[in-house]
Amino acid sequence: MAIGKWALLAAPLLALAAIPAQAQAQEGVIRIGVTLRMVVENGLKYGQMVKDEFDAVNAAGGINGRKIEVQLLDDECKPDKGVSNVNRFIHQTQVDLIIGSTCSSVSMPMVDIVTKEAIPMIIPQSTNQDLTKKGSPWVFRVPVSERFYAAVHAKWLAENVGKKVAYLVTTDTAGIGFAKQYQVYMKKAYNVDPVIEVQAQETDLDFRAALLKIKSMNPDVLAIGGQADAIARVSQQSFEVGIPSRVRRVAASAASNAPVPELGGDAVKGLIYAAAFNCNDERPEAQAFVKMTQTRYNVRCPDHDFSQAYDTVQIVKQALKAASLKLNAGSHAADRLAIRDALAGIKDFRGLASGPINFCAEPTPQCRDGNRTGILVEYTKGGKDYETRVLARVSFEADFGL
Amino acid sequence: MNLLEITGLSKRFGGFRALSGIDLTVRQGAVHGIIGPNGSGKSTLFNMISGVYPPEPGSRIVFDGTDITGRPSHEIARLGVARTFQMLRIFEGMSVIENMMVGHHGLTGYSPLSAVFGVKSVRHEERRVRGEMMELLAFIGLADYAEMPAGEMSGGQRRLLALGRAMAARPKLLMLDEPGAGLSPPNVDILLDTVRALQKRFGLTVIIIEHILKLVMDTCETVTVLEHGEKIAEGTPAEISADHRVIEAYLGREMLDEEVRSFLRAP
Amino acid sequence: MAVVTAPTDADWRSRIHPVLPWLGGIAVLSLLPLVTRTAYDQYLLNIIAINVLLAVGLNIVKGFAGQVTVGHVAVMAIGAYASAVFSVHLGLPFWLALPAAMAVCAAVGLLVGIPALRLEGAYLALATLGLAESVRIVISGTDWLGAAMGFEGIPPPQIGGFVMETHLRYFFVVMPIAVMGIYISFAILRSDMGRAFKAIREDQLAAAASGVHVAKFKLIAFVLSALYAGCAGSLKAHMAPGYLNPNDYSLQEMVTLLLMVIFGGIGHIWGAVIGAIAVTIINDLTQDYYTYRMAIFGGVIVLTVMYMPRGIGGMVEDWLVRRRFAALRAATKARQATP
């Protein structure tokens, strides 16, 4: 009986050992590990898109004659899963490059691992500013870092609308962060303090008293920090208390969520928020991309998670083309280094991002936050069939606001 | 000498008076029967003695010279009061020997920390407990089943195990709640023999709640009769069967069965 | 009448100290890295060891004492974060941070156990769920714990001059601790206390009538299982890359953990161990099939509950019982049939 138990215990371990090891021997292949948040439906689609893009490269003969092998894994926006996936990429698959991830909290520990293991990693979607601040020579980032986001609307509003900003902020992380970054930028760039700041609870339904107070201060801009519901309600009630439409309403990034125009109705017309991509972008390359995702993946309006994943793939293709790779059993370290340096050599890449993407060799945010152009999106129509347009593109210098 | 002295024991559930001012005395070494129709408060009495329900003011339960009124169940058990349940409540997911060893819990003397450190005395103690419990199982005729899950046993075996588990605590007072319920006549006899043998061997005091009147009348020296939560009679089986209030209480009920009738008619 | 055979001192088992076979087990398992193919397998072994500790701990409170809790993962989170704070903010070495974190968890376990004195079943599950979610939310909103962005830079343990930061080296930290965890679980659960736990699981009224202090042992069960969760949490925190995030301690992880215990067989110590190993490996093997992973996982849960409600341990036990007692039961029946 005791032996039986030990056997039961040992069986799964033996099973683990019996699983044939991944075919490592195949030389001349570029291996890429991709980990993304794919639990949501869109996630599965942009994950598939990344894989399809590389498959298309293989179908066309590969890059410099080399085929690309992609291992695509879901990290479910769970850091533990991301760590597990990266460990698998590095130790089991022995990839040459890692693409990942969507959530900043997942990319965070990944950065530490790739730095230690000396493997290049390019971040397609995470925006947290600390990722590139860690100073890893192995990490590149395609999306707009969040440190630019607040500045995008702050700069545009200051130059085009006015500097008298009234804040109505709910006390959640998103709301507070939005207001704080806006205020810091206004102070730094123009030495302007808020005309008024009112805090409300996340669960509040009636903001009219606060809005009346704001109205009496006669601001140029009403900044709304909070989640989608609060943004919709504040927009509506701001008109009810008679804040005129010449006062620009600007909101945190949650404003891009569908409940805002659906709940807010006509009141959201003119509301703006900063983003990295909008599917109503009129540039031909953007429209071609939107059409591609519509036909291939049945996505009506691809968001910046799609556009940035797409840009990432194109940048990787370009870098792999430029890198001289040996791809034999002993060349792992050299190949990884070559890919890293090729990525650092990406200059003036023009993709779906609204501005050029540049990388350089220094392990600093200036060098590794590739995209510094955000867009301002404006609601032109509220309700269920809401419409948006790109109001402006705002670019920054690499060393802004550090 | 009295082992158990109860005075003024009352219990109310909402508006229902389950027990009102019961006085009960059980002599050391006695086999004391408690009878009464359904809902007369017999099981409530057991639950009060064993500390399942908190008592009402004015109640007083003294066991072996110690006032146990309002004490928690496990303390009362450790003082030497063991009981069985009408629904048996054996630990079905545990083996027979484990059931017995839980019964012996209060007398198993080592700390879990010493078990972690693998102290030798722990192994000795475990061996002692197991050995003694095996002897007890042998005494009640379940030794062959020691390692069997208790849930796999037959009804009669379960009753014996419930009895054995109560005995495992080496109690001074053993309270049996309808030990004969659901048993066939030969099995009742086996059970009765076992109870008598245990009582003799260990010098037990026993209280039996029973519906099977024969069981009570054959076994008990003193019988207490409860009705509507009150004590209506007490005495030897002979006195009780002659008591007009008892006859009334039983005859006044339609649920009276043939057994009771024939018993009451007997001289 | 049966012949009662009490174990004698001549039995070799009784002459050696009970921990010796387990030390032997550690020695044997130390050879395991020899058969691993890559460092990824070693990483997986470390995850398995941590999950074994978690499952064995949960098995104490759920499998043995029969108390429903869905707060185990939250206790692990508290252990992980406590250990991180002790080593990063207070500068304690791992070997002090680990017991300190376990002590914190023991206190938490006591708090979690208190509702268990009054609540049962679904109500207790709800109470512990409330605790679990609030722990996650509080961490997400606490800046000095790294909030939603996570707690970084937790140093790996050191033994002498060795920094245990590779998966291989960490294996020699987690594996012995996990094996000792299993041993302690055995020592406790096969003692008088383990029987008291089981008695509480089976029938509280009867347990109390047998002299078991029900409230005390319930609390002890919660504290013990919290100690395991705290140990697992601390080991998780100090494992490379030394990063913690509240997202990794949600209801989803709790369901996975419950599955380990149920799959292995509730109330079987080996069951919890086998369940932890099996579920971790299934989890890993299905990672490549991310599209169907959730469906596969859900399927395993449903099939386990439907066809193997008592898990692998329960199946083995049934088989043993059937084999062992079939003859005995037949004999009893025959005796009853012939009066």
Q: What is the CATH number of the domain that holds C288?
A: 1.10.3470
Q: State how far the Cα of A190 lies from the Cα of A205, in Å rounded to an integer.
A: 34
Give the pLDDT confidence score for residue C339 in this predicted structure: 43
For residue A137, is the peptide bond before it cis, meaning its omega torsion is within 30 degrees of 0? no
Q: How confident is the model at residue A377 (pLDDT cuts 50, 70, 90)?
A: very high
pLDDT for A2:
46
Separation between Cα atoms, residue B34 and residue B177, nearest integer Å: 10
pLDDT at A168: 94
Range of the domain at C246: 38-308
Whether the per-residue pLDDT at B68 is higher than 80: the answer is yes
Q: What integer pLDDT is reported at residue A201 of this predicted model?
A: 80
Q: Is the pLDDT of residue A363 over 80?
A: yes
Tell me the C-alpha distance between C228 and B258, whole Å.
61
The predicted pLDDT at position A253 comes to 82
**Among A132, A114, A186, residue whose Cα is nearest residue A337:** A114
Of A15, A83, A104, the CB nearest to C149: A104
SS3 state at A78 = coil
| Spatial CA neighbour of B244 closest among B264, B218, B214 | B264
3-state SS of chain A: helix, strand, coil percent to 5?
45, 20, 35
CA distances to B26, B39, C228, C323 from B35, rounded to whole Å, are 15, 11, 51, 44
Cα-to-chain-centroid distance, residue C83: 19
Q: Do A79 and C150 touch (CB under 8 A)?
A: yes
**C25 inside domain:** no
Distance CA A352, CA A76 (A): 25
- The answer on pLDDT for C40 being more than 60 is yes
The per-residue pLDDT for range C202-230, each reduced to its tens digit, is 999 999 999 999 999 999 999 999 999 99
What residues of A are in the C interface, CB distance below 8 Å? Answer: 1, 4-5, 8-9, 12-13, 15-17, 19, 21, 38-39, 44, 47, 71-74, 77-80, 83-85, 87-88, 90-92, 103-105, 108-109, 112-113, 116, 128, 130, 173
- Mean pLDDT value of segment B126-152: 93
| Interchain pair C214, B74: CB under 8 A | yes
pLDDT digits (tens, 9 = 90+) for A139-158: 999 998 887 888 889 999 99
> What is the CA A177 to chain-centroid distance, rounded?
17
Q: How many helices (H) and strands (E) does chain C have?
A: 14, 2
Considering the domain boundaries, does residue C320 fall inside one?
Answer: no
pTM score, whole prediction: 0.89
pLDDT at B172: 94
- Closest-CA distance, C295 to chain A, in angstroms, reads 12
Is there a domain that residue C57 lies in?
A: yes
Cα-based angle A155, A160, A162 (whole degrees, multiple of 5):
80
> Please, where are the H alpha helices in chain B?
42-49, 73-79, 96-103, 112-116, 120-140, 155-168, 185-202, 213-219, 237-242, 244-251, 258-265
Residue C313: pLDDT band (50, 70, 90) is confident
Q: Specify the number of domains making up chain C.
A: 1
Round to the nearest angstrom and report the end-to-end CA distance of chain B.
32
Domain ranges of chain B: 2-80+171-265, 94-169
CA distance A339 to A119: 9
- Residues B100-120, mean pLDDT to the nearest whole number: 88
What residues contact residue C28 under an 8 Å CB cut-off, 6+ apart? none
> What is the 8-class DSSP label of residue C248?
G
**Residue C4 pLDDT more than 60?**
no
Whether C and A touch (3+ CB pairs < 8 Å), yes or no = yes
Instruction: For residues A345 and B12, give the distance between their C-alpha atoms in angstroms, rounded to a whole number.
Output: 87
Interface test with A, best of C37, C50, C52, C257 (most A CBs within 10 A): C37
Q: Is B135 in contact with C4 (Cβ distance < 8 A)?
A: yes
Please, what sign has the CA dihedral across residues B138, B139, B145, B150?
A: negative
Rounded to the nearest angstrom, the minimum Cα separation between A87 and chain C is 6
What's the pLDDT band for C1 if we cut at 50, 70, 90? very low
Out of A6-15, A314-323, B249-258, the most confident range is A314-323
Whether the pLDDT of residue A210 is over 90: the answer is yes
Chain C residues in contact with chain A using a Cβ-Cβ cutoff of 8 Å: 32, 35-41, 43-44, 47, 140-141, 147-150, 152, 167, 240-243, 245, 247-248, 252, 270, 273-274, 277-278, 281, 284-285, 287-288, 290-291, 293-294, 312, 316, 320
pLDDT tier at B267 (50, 70, 90 boundaries)? very low
Q: Which domains does chain A have, with CATH numbers?
A: 29-144+284-371 (3.40.50.2300), 147-275+375-395 (3.40.50.2300)
Cα gap C304→A91, rounded to integer Å? 33
Averaged confidence pLDDT in chain C: 89
Distances (CA, A) of A166 to A182, A202, A208: 11, 18, 14
Q: Which of C22, C261, C185, C64 is nearest to A6 (CA)?
A: C22
Kindly tell me if the per-residue pLDDT of A103 is higher than 50: yes
Proportion of chain B above pLDDT 90, given as a percent = 51
Distance from C-alpha of B49 to C-alpha of B34, rounded to nearest angstrom? 14
- Give the mean model confidence (pLDDT) for residues A66-75: 95
Confidence band for A242, pLDDT divided at 50, 70 and 90? very high
% chain A with pLDDT above 70: 93
With contact defined as beta carbons under 8 Å apart, do A271 and A378 qualify?
yes
Candidate ranges A148-152, A396-400, C80-84; pick with highest mean pLDDT: C80-84
Would you say residue C11 lies in a domain? no
CATH topology of domain B2-80+171-265: Rossmann fold (3.40.50)
The rounded mean pLDDT for chain B is 87
Contacts of C293 in chain A (CB under 8 A): 74
Predicted pLDDT of residue A16: 54
- Which of these, A307, A308, A269, A260, lies nearest to A288 by C-alpha position? A307
The more confidently predicted of residues B34 and A19 is B34
Contact B82 C213 (CB under 8 A): no
> Taking CB atoms and an 8 Å cutoff, what residues of chain C touch B123?
14, 18
Sheet (strand A196-200) strand order: A196-200, A165-170, A221-225, A248-251, A272-275, A373-381, A387-395
C164 and C35 Cβ atoms separated by less than 8 Å: no
Please choose, from the candidates C177, C185, C168, the residue with its C-alpha nearest in 3D space to the C-alpha of residue C49. C177
β-pairing, B66-67 with B81-83?
unpaired
Residues of C239-276 as b/e, b for ≥16 C-beta within 10 angstroms? bbbbbbbbbbbbebbbebbbbbbbbbbbbbbbbbbbbb
Between A10-19, B43-52, B176-185, the lowest mean confidence (pLDDT) is in: A10-19
